[in-house]
């Protein structure tokens, strides 16, 4: 069955040329511009590999290169993240047993390591990274933006709804449009499908990139880490089955590649992300059987909740997922009601006939590169997990390394864009290119971000940021 969306009320999918590749020896049809994992999903393949020890089936979970559950052998190269690797004519893709092995006879020839140099390296081409690049270039700084995905825009490339937030940061515009506008401004400084796999310190900051089988060394005077976040997992029986997807993965499949994630979905989480993605599933003609929310109330905006209720989707609060049903992939889900102490209420189980369980239960900042660079990290629940200690100017505890966007604490695209700009202005300042406009622009942004976080929806982030700023001061005293 072809899972590609034929009609959509908002989106048109311009598919590339029809091509063919093989998966475990079977010929598969795909379109240029699709990733390997997306093309396989469209063709109905949910099981991509097996777990190393117990040989449990594995499908993808994040679809943006963060979790490794889609890694397969591609043209003889093991452990390729197939959710961010574009499919090519006559590619040979194989599920790899165990840890994956590089066969001596297919070992690729050693290539020369390409070397690059820049004043500011920005890791991540999401709203934070792209805004940083546009701002730094405005003041004449040399910038290189690096992103491992085939599309620039980070989370925005799949957000078809009109944004809430600050009018100065494009509220009321669709996320996809914001991504296009930002990319157009920064395009010639962006290197896509290049993954930053290592940070080293020598006389400057040294980043190692992997790009299409080759290594690139980038030396930079300043580094802005704007790598976003990864989706949280919930603990329940069968949570590793293919068909349990993060909400971002579901959005990527539907809104970027025009592929339905399944036919019948149970949504877990009634925050804004769960509610918005439920509506987008309905737009893609996918049946949303119910939304369950463990809290006794709906966390997202009521306007989003009302929209999906009008379409007949029930929202059950004080309810959680108990287990995913299925052997090779999800064939059902069981939910349970919770009492006021969050304990399951006996005999309140309810079974749903679904092929997809979508988890919209929050994000955790991606902090691996900060960790490698020796930045001090602290667990701040208000910001989604471990975050790098930083100050208002987005400086971390390592000289020359700045943080911005979700990687510095979970927020939203508006604050991510502002933080990107602030980090860029701090770099420009530190590079000695400062002028009255830089100082004025940073002052304005700090005022605006403060006012955005002073509303009731920004309160948690404000508290988290205050803790982080205090930690940074502690480290620098």
Ligand X SMILES: Cc1cc2nc3c(=O)[nH]c(=O)nc-3n(C[C@H](O)[C@H](O)[C@H](O)COP(=O)(O)OP(=O)(O)OC[C@H]3O[C@@H](n4cnc5c(N)ncnc54)[C@H](O)[C@@H]3O)c2cc1C
The residues in 263-282 that bind ligand X, with binding defined as CB under 6 A, are 273, 276-277
Nearest in space to 358 (alpha carbons), one of 253, 457, 256: 253
Nearer to ligand FES, 270 or 361 (CB): 361
Residues 265, 266, 269, 270, CA torsion sign? positive
Q: Which of 33, 262, 405, 458 contacts ligand X by CB under 6 A?
A: 405
As to burial, measured by CB atoms within 10 angstroms (0-12 exposed, 13-18 middle, 19+ buried), residue 173 is middle
CA torsion 116-157-331-333 (nearest 10°) is 110
Minimal distance in Å, beta carbon 66 to ligand FES? 5
Does residue 28 belong to the site contacting ligand X (CB under 6 A)?
A: no
Stretch that binds ligand X, among 3-11, 18-26, 408-416, 436-444 (CB under 6 A): 408-416
Nearer to ligand X, 128 or 359 (CB): 128
Nearer to ligand X, 199 or 329 (CB): 199
357 binds, among ligand X, ligand FES, none (CB under 5 to 8 A by kind): none
Nearer to ligand FES, 68 or 77 (CB): 68
**Using CA atoms, how far apart are residues 157 and 151, in angstroms rounded to an integer?**
8
The residues in 62-121 that bind ligand X, with binding defined as CB under 6 A, are 64
The residues in 185-214 that bind ligand X, with binding defined as CB under 6 A, are 195-196
**Using CA atoms, how far apart are residues 203 and 224, in angstroms rounded to an integer?**
17
**Using CA atoms, how far apart are residues 49 and 43, in angstroms rounded to an integer?**
16
Minimal distance in Å, beta carbon 219 to ligand X? 16
Q: Which residues of 23-60 are buried (b: 16+ CB within 10 A; e: fewer)?
A: beeeebebbebbbbbbbbbbbebbbbbeeeeeeebbbb
Stretch that binds ligand X, among 150-158, 337-345, 346-354, 450-458 (CB under 6 A): 150-158
318 binds, among ligand FES, ligand X, none (CB under 5 to 8 A by kind): none
Q: Which of 37, 86, 125, 424 contacts ligand X by CB under 6 A?
A: 125
Nearer to ligand X, 305 or 325 (CB): 305
**Using CA atoms, how far apart are residues 385 and 128, in angstroms rounded to an integer?**
19
**Using CA atoms, how far apart are residues 78 and 75, in angstroms rounded to an integer?**
8
Q: What angle is formed at CA 226 by the lines to CA 83 and CA 129, rounded to 5 degrees?
A: 95
60 binds, among ligand X, ligand FES, none (CB under 5 to 8 A by kind): ligand FES
Q: What are phi and psi of 373, to 5 degrees?
A: -80, -5
Minimal distance in Å, beta carbon 460 to ligand X? 14
Does residue 149 belong to the site contacting ligand X (CB under 6 A)?
A: yes
**Using CA atoms, how far apart are residues 299 and 360, in angstroms rounded to an integer?**
11
What is the 8-class DSSP label of residue 457?
Answer: G
Nearest in space to 286 (alpha carbons), one of 303, 320, 311, 256: 311
Minimal distance in Å, beta carbon 94 to ligand FES? 16
Does residue 249 belong to the site contacting ligand X (CB under 6 A)?
A: no
299 binds, among ligand X, ligand FES, none (CB under 5 to 8 A by kind): none
User: 315 pairs with which residues across the strands?
Assistant: 291
Cβ atoms 186, 145 nearer than 8 A:
yes
**Using CA atoms, how far apart are residues 138 and 440, in angstroms rounded to an integer?**
14
Nearer to ligand FES, 368 or 392 (CB): 368
Minimal distance in Å, beta carbon 231 to ligand FES? 9
62 binds, among ligand X, ligand FES, none (CB under 5 to 8 A by kind): ligand FES
**Using CA atoms, how far apart are residues 51 and 74, in angstroms rounded to an integer?**
18
Does residue 154 belong to the site contacting ligand X (CB under 6 A)?
A: yes
**Using CA atoms, how far apart are residues 255 and 175, in angstroms rounded to an integer?**
11
Q: In what side-by-side order are the strands of the sheet with 332-337?
A: 319-325, 332-337, 350-352
Nearer to ligand X, 66 or 323 (CB): 66
Minimal distance in Å, beta carbon 63 to ligand FES? 5
Query: H or E stretch including 420?
Result: helix 413-430
Minimal distance in Å, beta carbon 468 to ligand X? 15
Nearer to ligand X, 251 or 318 (CB): 251
Which residues bind to ligand FES, rule: CB under 6 A? 60-63, 65-70, 81, 83
Q: What are phi and psi of 214, to 5 degrees?
A: -115, 160
What is the 8-class DSSP label of residue 204?
Answer: S
Minimal distance in Å, beta carbon 405 to ligand FES? 19
441 binds, among ligand X, ligand FES, none (CB under 5 to 8 A by kind): none
Residues in the chain: 477
List contacts with ligand X (CB under 6 A): 64, 123-129, 146-149, 154-156, 159, 163-165, 195-196, 226-229, 247-248, 251, 273, 276-277, 366, 405-407, 411-414, 416
């Amino acid at each position: 069955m072809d899972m590609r969306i034929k009609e959509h009320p908002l989106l048109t999918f311009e598919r590339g040329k029809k091509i063919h590749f093989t998966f475990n020896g079977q010929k598969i049809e795909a379109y240029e511009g699709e990733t390997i994992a997306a093309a396989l999903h469209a063709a109905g393949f949910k099981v991509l590999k097996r777990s190393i020890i117990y040989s449990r089936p594995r499908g993808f979970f994040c679809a943006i290169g963060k979790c490794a559950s889609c890694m397969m052998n591609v043209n003889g190269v093991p452990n390729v993240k197939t959710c961010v690797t574009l499919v090519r004519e006559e590619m040979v893709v194989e599920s790899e047993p165990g840890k994956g092995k590089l066969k001596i006879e297919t070992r690729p020839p050693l290539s020369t390591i390409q070397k690059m140099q820049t004043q500011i390296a920005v890791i991540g081409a999401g709203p934070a990274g792209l805004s940083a690049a546009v701002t730094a270039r405005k003041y004449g700084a040399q910038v290189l933006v690096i992103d491992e995905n085939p599309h620039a825009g980070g989370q925005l490339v799949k957000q078809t709804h009109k944004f809430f937030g600050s009018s100065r940061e494009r509220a009321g515009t669709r996320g996809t449009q914001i991504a296009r506008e930002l990319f157009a401004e920064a395009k010639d400084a962006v290197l896509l499908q290049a993954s930053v796999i290592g940070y080293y310190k020598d006389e400057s900051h040294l980043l190692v990139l992997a790009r299409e089988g080759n290594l690139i060394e980038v030396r930079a005077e300043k580094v802005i880490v704007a790598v976003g976040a990864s989706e949280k997992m919930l603990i329940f029986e069968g949570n590793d089955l293919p068909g349990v997807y993060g909400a971002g993965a579901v959005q990527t499949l539907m809104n970027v590649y025009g592929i339905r994630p399944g036919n019948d979905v149970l949504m877990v989480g009634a925050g804004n992300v769960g509610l918005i993605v439920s509506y987008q599933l309905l737009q893609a003609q996918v049946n949303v059987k119910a939304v369950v929310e463990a809290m006794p109330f709906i966390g997202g905006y009521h306007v989003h909740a009302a929209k999906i209720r009008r379409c007949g989707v029930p929202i059950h609060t004080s309810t959680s997922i108990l287990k995913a049903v299925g052997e090779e992939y999800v064939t059902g889900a069981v939910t349970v009601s919770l009492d006021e102490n969050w304990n399951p209420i006996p005999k309140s189980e309810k079974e749903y006939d679904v092929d997809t369980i979508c988890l919209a239960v929050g994000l955790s900042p991606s902090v691996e590169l900060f960790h490698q660079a020796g930045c001090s990290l602290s667990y701040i629940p208000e910001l989604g997990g471990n975050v790098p200690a930083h100050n208002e100017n987005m400086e971390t505890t390592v000289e020359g390394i700045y943080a911005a966007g979700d990687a510095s604490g979970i927020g939203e695209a508006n604050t991510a864009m502002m933080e990107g700009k602030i980090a860029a202005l701090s770099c420009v300042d530190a590079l000695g290119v400062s002028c009255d406009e830089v100082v004025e622009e940073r002052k304005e942004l700090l005022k605006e971000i403060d006012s955005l976080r002073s509303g009731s929806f920004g309160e948690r982030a404000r508290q988290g940021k205050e803790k982080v700023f205090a930690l940074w001061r502690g480290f620098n005293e």
